[in-house]
Structure 1
Amino acid sequence: MKTQVIDFREFVSGEYRQQKKIINSIPLFTLAYNPFVVSPSSIFSPPPMITKAYLLMISVGTLLIGMATIEKYLGTNGFTKIASSIFNTIQTLMPLILIGAIIYFVFANPLLGGL
Structure 2
Amino acid sequence: MLQVQERETTAAEVFGHNVRRYREKQGMSRFRLATNAALDDRQIRDIENGTHNPTLLTMERIAAALGVDMPRLFEREQDTPGAFPLAALQPAFDRLPLAEQGRVLAVLRLLLQVSKE
> TM-score category by the smaller chain?
under 0.3
Whose helix fraction is larger, Structure 1's or Structure 2's?
1
The structure showing larger relative contact order (alpha-carbon pairs under 8 Å, at least 6 residues apart) is 2
TM-score normalised over the length of structure 1: 0.24
User: TM-score if structure 2 supplies the norm length?
Assistant: 0.24
State the structure with more CA Rg.
1
